[in-house]
Amino acid sequence: MMKDNNLVRHLDACETMGNATAICSDKTGTLTTNRMTVVQSFICGECHLRHVVQQTMTLADAGNHQKVLPKYEDLPPSVAELIVQGISINSAYTSRVLPPDNPGDNPKQVGNKTECALLGFVGEMGRDYQTLREHTPEEKLYKVYTFNSVRKSMSTIIQLPGGGFRLYTKGASEIILSKCSYIYGRDGKLERFGKDDQVRLVRRVIEPMAMDGLRTICIAYKDYVRETPSDPNQFQFDIEPNWDQEDAIVRELTCLCVVGIEDPVRPEVPDAIKKCQRSGITVRMVTGDNINTARSIAMKCGIIRPGEDFLVLEGKEFNKRIRDATGEVQQELLDKVWPRLRVLARSSPQDKYTLVKGIIDSKLSANREVVAVTGDGTNDGPALKKADVGFAMGIAGTDVAKEASDIILTDDNFTSIVKAVMWGRNVYDSIAKFLQFQLTVNVVAVIVAFVGACAIEDSPLKAVQMLWVNLIMDTLASLALATELPTPDLLLRKPYGRTKPLISRTMMKNILGHAAYQLLVIFTLLFLGHDFLDIDTGLGAKLHSDPSQHFTVIFNTFVMMTLFNEINARKIHGERNIFEGLLTNPIFYSIILVTLAAQVPPS
């Protein structure tokens, strides 16, 4: 499993994952490549694309041609400088874009990928973010409101040379725009930005970006000055504001730009999700992104498909549907939502925990749902703990998330979860295969010993021979059957269910059928074999005497039938072709050959 990028922390999670019926997956980095790039922008009333492909509606009017992403000199100088500073300074200084290791490769993104996309945008504008950071090092930042999943924004305050302060903010576009009172229009002209303008901008610019699967980020700022304001967006103060009151500080902002960040779906993910759905596993996306962005990505991945009955909800709507008048989560309300829910957008880690707990506690299914969850943040810890199997991200995951998980995905890739499902089912099948083989051997050996003791007052299988079968053949057989590698066929059937017996009806038929066949052959040889083989009978031998030629034939026949039953035991679901894939496991056929050779007596 480690070779398949699954670092297993708790061994029981392997088998549990084979029984999973639901996967609640993150979007960024798991379903997508986590290689983010700014591909669209809205600045000074105009839309810009990385490539000019079509016309679109802008805030100013509906007939302007889109332009390519702007350079610094293409924008009004004051606006361009504010955008560059707002991105360079109001980002974690650990986020960087480095030159590629090899010519022709993409630049390396280190740190937060969204911030790396914005820093790359600064580079494409023709400016160096590192120069600005050196001019304003971290220790000179006056106040930083770090990003969290509730307000979905980050803000940084710096001191201005004249004694004032400047607030830079970036975050989820619709949330930041709701706090903006001004916006830069054509030619950098400052304009009032009322509620109607906000609705129009969201409808004409942000929603089309989100429908294309883009994450939209808004950059805004606000100045706090002591002297008489020169712009209406500046706030004059005599007594320094209380910077701890974030809600009062981050309001009446000026919107600088809105950018659309593309995070392409991993090419292998749609096929992996299709395999999960075919194998009876429901995949749900739980993300903090805009609902339109989440819906678009879910469509591309195949989580939702046209014509299906599904729900796509935001966190607020989800909570409204599952809570009663007192605000408490009610299981019966949750049971009306989760079976159809496929995408939960603008969600918090608490929403993820509520969803996971609700699915696990539900009594709707005959067998309790087995839920796997992916998470990378510190706040994902409770959901990872509550899930039957918790997957933490090995690259983007925090130490807290990794500690709370059962399996760590070393490549942060959804396809690795599918491989974990295959391994889990393979572990279950390996146990079942050996049980089928071992019970057949034991049923035959016990009946032969019992009937022999009753009929001829001696067992045809001597103690040393039984030890040979149990210690040598069964030990090697368990190793052979346990080393079968998982195959894609494991994903063609539904999960077993938590209450299904380990020995299925098909396995019971195999055990009893092969046992009956072996007993028929052995008893035929025991009572009639000496006649048609024309050898001395061993039926009249004294008790505990050395094995006769007669009984040696019986022992060798029993071992050969057991050896070939080992090949039969590879198939426990009624497959016809027992030799399929036999040569793909060198350990298996090597053990068969070694056991066969060891059974041949020395000359």
Active-site residue set? 26
Amino acid at 564: F
Cβ neighbours around 308 below 10 Å, total: 9
Q: Are 406 and 1 in contact (CB under 8 A)?
A: no
Name every residue whose Cβ is closer than 8 Å to that of residue 161 and which is 6 or more positions away in sequence: none
581 class by beta-carbon count within 10 Å (0-12 exposed, 13-18 middle, 19+ buried)? middle
Q: Which of 461, 457, 456 is nearest to 445 (CA)?
A: 461
Nearest in space to 427 (alpha carbons), one of 496, 513, 509, 366: 496
Residues 6+ apart with CB under 8 A from 547: 462, 465, 538, 555
Secondary structure (DSSP) of 169-235: EEEEHHHHHTTEEEEE-GGG-EEE--HHHHHHHIIIIIHHHHHTTPEEEEEEEEEEESS--SSTTEE
* Integer angstrom CA distances of residue 402 from 99, 360, 397: 30, 22, 7
DSSP 8-state code for residue 224: E
Residue 502 CB neighbour total at 10 angstroms: 10
Is residue 91 classed exposed, middle or buried when 0-12, 13-18 and 19+ CB atoms within 10 A define those classes?
buried
Cβ(565)–Cβ(529) below 8 Å = no
Strand partners, 190: 184
Tokens of 161: 């040379």
- Name the nearest CA neighbour of 341 among 390, 282, 270: 282
* Amino acid residing at 307: G
Q: Report the SS3 class of residue 585.
A: coil
Element (H, E) at 408: strand 407-409
Question: DSSP assignment, residue 75?
Answer: S
Tokens 């361009």 correspond to 80
Q: What angle do CA 364, 15, 583 make, to 5 degrees?
A: 130
